[in-house]
Amino acid sequence: MEIILGKRAGFCGGVINSVTKSNDLLNEYHNLYCLGEIVHNKVVVNHLEEKGMKFINSLDEVEDGSKVVIRAHGVPKEIYEEATKRKIELFDLTCPKVLLIHQEAEELVNNGYYVVVVGKKDHPEIIGTISYCNKDSIIIEDVSEVDSTIEYISNNHKDKVAVLSQTTYSVSKFLEIEKSFKEKLHGVDLKILNTICNATELRQQETDEMSKNVDAMIIIGGKNSSNTKKLYEVADKNTKTYIIETVEDLTDDIFQYNKVGVMAGASTPKESIDEVLDFLNKI
C-alpha cells in the first residue's frame, strides 16, 4: 500500500497557540478551568484533563476569582462582561483570526450593516460571533436559506448588508452563497467578506487535489470538529473516504486499496496522525 500524507495535516497555528499556552498555564496553576473544549478533539482534551485542567460548560460552575481559559473557538461577548463582574481571571486563547471576525462583526453593525453570518448555527465560534452583532444579524447554514434571508432584508428595508463566514466553513459552499446573494440581492450596499481561515482554505484545496489521485482517503479528526467534517465532504466527492477520530476507528477494508491519502483536521494532534501511519505501514 502506498500512503500519502497531506502536507497540511494536523494542528493549525491557532490550535498550536491554544494547546501550547494551555500546557504552559497548567505548569503554572494547579486550579485551572476551560470554558468548553479547548479544541474539538478528545485526544487533546483528555491529555489536558490528565494534567489537571477542568472543563466546564458555564461560568456558573466556578467560584468568583477563579482562573478560566477561553477556548480556541472563542466565547460570546457576555462571558467577558460576567468575568469582569465576578473578578474571574480569563486567559483568552481564542484563535486570533476568530477575534478579528468578532471585531469586524461589531464594527459592521455599528456602521449600520445587517450581518449575515454563514456557518453552523450551534457551533461555538458562530455563537460567539453573533453576540457581537446585537439583534441586527442572522445565521445561515447553506445556500438554501439565501432566498428567505433576502426576503426578510427586503421586507424590513435593510439597505446595508454584510456577509461573513465561520473560519472553518466550506470554501465551495461559501462561493455558492456569495454568488447567490450577488445575483438576487439588489438595491443595497452589499459587502461580502470571505472570513474563512487561509489555513482552512489551503487544507481543503490540498484534500481535493489529493483525493482525485488516490484509491481512498482517510480523514483524521474529532467527531465534533467542523473543519474535519468539511475535509471529509471535500474528499468524499472524489473517492471512497473514511473519517476517523483515532486509529481504533479504522476498519480492515482499508487494506483493499493500493494508494491511500491521509489528511487530518486542524485540531488533530501529531500523535493521532502518527498512530494511523504506523498502523498502515506495519500492515
Angle between helices 226-236 and 198-211 (to 10 degrees): 30
Residue 6 contacts residue 210 (beta carbons within 8 Å)? yes
| Residue 125 a catalytic site member | yes
Which amino acid is present at 158?
Answer: K
Single out the catalytic residue among 125, 178, 206, 245: 125
C-alpha cell recorded at residue 70? 477561553
Q: What is the rounded distance in angstroms from the CA atom of residue 195 to the CA atom of residue 135?
A: 21
C-alpha cell recorded at residue 60? 456558573
**HEC profile for the chain?**
CEEEECCCCCCCHHHHHHHHHHHHHHHHCCCEEEECCCCCCHHHHHHHHHCCCEEECCHHHCCCCCEEEECCCCCCHHHHHHHHHCCCEEEECCCHHHHHHHHHHHHHHHCCCEEEEECCCCCHHHHHHHCCCCCCEEEECCHHHHHHHHHHHHHCCCCEEEEEECCCCCHHHHHHHHHHHHHHCCCCEEEEECCCCHHHHHHHHHHHHHHCCCCEEEEECCCCCHHHHHHHHHHHCCCEEEEECCHHHCCHHHHHCCEEEEEECCCCCHHHHHHHHHHHHHC
CA nearest to 43, candidates 252, 261, 246: 246
Residues belonging to the active site: 125
